[in-house]
Amino acid sequence: MKTTKISEAVVRRLPIYLRYLTHLHHMNVKTVSSQKLGDILDINPAQIRKDLAHFGEFGRKGIGYEVDYLIEKIKQILKLDQEIHVALIGVGHLGHAILNYNAYLKENMKIVAAFDVDPQKTGEVVAGTTVYHLDQLGDIIEEKAIRMAIITVPAEAAQEVADRLMQTRIKAILNFAPVNIKARDDVRVHHTDVTTELQSLSYYL
Amino acid sequence: MKTTKISEAVVRRLPIYLRYLTHLHHMNVKTVSSQKLGDILDINPAQIRKDLAHFGEFGRKGIGYEVDYLIEKIKQILKLDQEIHVALIGVGHLGHAILNYNAYLKENMKIVAAFDVDPQKTGEVVAGTTVYHLDQLGDIIEEKAIRMAIITVPAEAAQEVADRLMQTRIKAILNFAPVNIKARDDVRVHHTDVTTELQSLSYYL
């Protein structure tokens, strides 16, 4: 199933498709056309067909996509058919917000441990997740079979945290700190930050 | 200066360039090559040259880009040479986190008002920003000349908030609620949410 050279743009659209397909599933809708998907998601239907065609022949002429089947396939492509344990590092305001959001994470994805350098926060439980001291990072990641990490520390600490994570089994990092993180080729880092989001939106004003 | 048909991918990279160029400026670096930029930002140097060439001839062979000049140009392109007032709607955990982050917003961008439906929150001041009742949305947006909005309400309220925003002068919305918002063609909506970010990262595991 693993197909190489799929662009990041395609990979970023798959969860969007999955979210709406899951909504359709809950509405008991059985099939959907790329036209309808495109209308709702504001994406060109030809783009949707092309995106999905990278992974196989999922649609049928005149019928469209079978909702449940496509959900299952996208989950497989995104490896969401496995349970994925996530760590969060940095229990400040944003860290708190994301931990509170944990209940909404779906598709077998769960934040199972949080970390902070502040010893006062160690042992705290935020929205069901225990906060450990950063020094326990390696041990807990091993113990809880954690595969992904979310960085919500201040900018000046982000690279050091990333370096520590790269000494563990972690292969995917979502960085909220407003700084570019350098990582080895075998570790995938996505950056997300409010400032750059707002700045790119500003272009359209 | 406004060039049409620039892809969203290009527009999303400009703030990344700007952030690093600003860092170089603070380090008193005068010129930088696309090679060096590419190394640091993990972007193909040819891509960087192509991105910037959309807007003019900013680089010089053998010298590269003049840092201060390029900063000024990117700010112009992103309209960050003007002051941009932002509203935030939904003062829950995430809203709090972003309001606390407000101090870090740069380049003339500032959250100048927050809104919530909870009357208990009305009048509260979070990290220097006053919380107004959602019913005051139109008046305050007019009064404070607000041009962009950040939505941090729960998923089920997001479309209604967006509909209310579209009755105002707002033309750009950054939506953190985990739901796709439908908007008129003249209103630009960017979506950002932790679940879809984690799901697309999962692909690379």
| The pair of three-digit structure tokens given for residue B185, joined into one six-digit string | 């063609």
What's this model's pTM, rounded to 2 decimal places?
0.75
Partnered with residue B131 across adjacent β-strands are: B114
Closest Cα of chain A to B187: distance in Å? Answer: 9
CB contact under 8 Å between A199 and B9, yes or no, is no
Gap between the Cα atoms of A107 and B158, Å rounded: 22
> Which of B94, B101, B196 is facing A16, going by the closest CB pair?
B196
Q: Which secondary-structure segment (H or E) carries A34?
A: helix A34-41
Kindly list the distances between the CA atom of residue A139 and the CA atoms of A4, A131, A170, B79, B81, in Å, as whole numbers in the listed order: 32, 14, 12, 47, 48
Q: Which B positions 54-113 lie with beta carbon below 8 A of chain A?
A: 77-80, 84, 86, 92-94, 96-98, 100-101, 104-107, 109
Residues B183-191 have a mean pLDDT of 91
pLDDT at position A104, please?
Answer: 62
**What value does the mean pLDDT take over residues A42-60?**
85
Query: What value does the mean pLDDT of chain A take?
Result: 89
How would residue A120 be classed by pLDDT, with cut points 50, 70 and 90? very high
- For residue B192, pLDDT beyond 90: no
Looking at residue B71, what is its pLDDT? Answer: 93
| Residue-wise pLDDT tens digits, B164-173 | 999 999 999 9
Q: What confidence tens digit (pLDDT) does each residue in B26-55 have?
A: 899 999 999 999 888 777 888 899 899 988
Query: Residue A171 and residue B205: Cβ atoms within 8 Å?
Result: yes
> Both ends of chain A: CA-CA distance in Å?
41
B182 — phi, psi (to 5°)?
-95, 135
ipTM: 0.84
Model confidence over B89-130: pLDDT tens digits?
999 888 988 888 766 666 688 999 999 999 999 999 998 999
Q: Does A14 touch chain B (CB under 8 A)?
A: yes
Angle, alpha carbons B7-B9-B11 (nearest 5°): 75
Q: What is the pLDDT of residue A106?
A: 65
Q: Is the pLDDT of residue B193 over 80?
A: no
User: In degrees rounded to 5, what are phi and psi of residue A103?
Assistant: -60, -25
Contact B198 A19 (CB under 8 A): no
Flag if A148 and B202 touch (Cβ within 8 Å).
Answer: yes
Contact A168, A138 (CB under 8 A): yes
Mutate to test the interface with B, among A202, A204, A205 (most CBs of B within 10 A): A202
Whether residue A24 has pLDDT greater than 80: yes
Task: Give per-residue pLDDT as tens, A142-191.
Answer: 999 999 999 999 889 999 999 999 999 999 999 988 788 989 989 999 88
- Is the model's pLDDT at B3 over the cut of 50? no
Residue A1: per-residue pLDDT: 44
Q: From the CA of B140, how many Å to the nearest CA of chain A?
A: 19
**Contact list, A40 vs chain B (CB under 8 Å):** 180, 182
- What is the SS3 string spanning A40-62? HHCCCHHHHHHHHHCCCCCEECC
Instruction: Output the CA angle B15-A181-A171, nearest 5 degrees.
Output: 125
Interface check A163 vs B, CB under 8 A: no
The structural domains of chain B, ordered by start, are 8-77 (1.10.10.10), 84-198 (3.40.50.720)
pLDDT tens for A74-110 read 999 999 888 899 999 999 888 988 888 766 666 688 9
**Which one is predicted more confidently, B3 or A70?**
A70
Q: What is the DSSP string of B69-99?
A: HHHHHHHHHTTTTS-EEEEEE--SHHHHHHH
Q: Please count the CA atoms within 13 angstroms of the CA of B169 that sit on its side-chain side.
A: 14
Percent of chain A, pLDDT > 90?
52
Q: Does B201 touch chain A (CB under 8 A)?
A: yes
Q: Contact B41/A109, CB-based, under 8 Å?
A: no
Are A16 and B180 a contacting pair at CB < 8 A? yes
* A195 to B109: CB separation less than 8 angstroms, yes or no: yes
- Tell me, what's the pLDDT at B39? 83
For residue A113, is pLDDT > 60? yes
User: What pLDDT, on the 0 to 100 scale, is given for residue B106?
Assistant: 65
Asked if A14 and B200 come within 8 Å (Cβ–Cβ), the reply is yes
Amino acid at B45: P
Exposure string for A122-155, b = 16+ CB within 10 A, e = fewer:
beeebeebebbebeebeebbeeeebbbbbbbbee
Interior angle at CA B66, CA B63 and CA B72, nearest 5: 160
Q: Which residues contact B35 (CB under 8 A, 6 or more apart)?
A: B45
| Mean pLDDT value across chain B | 89
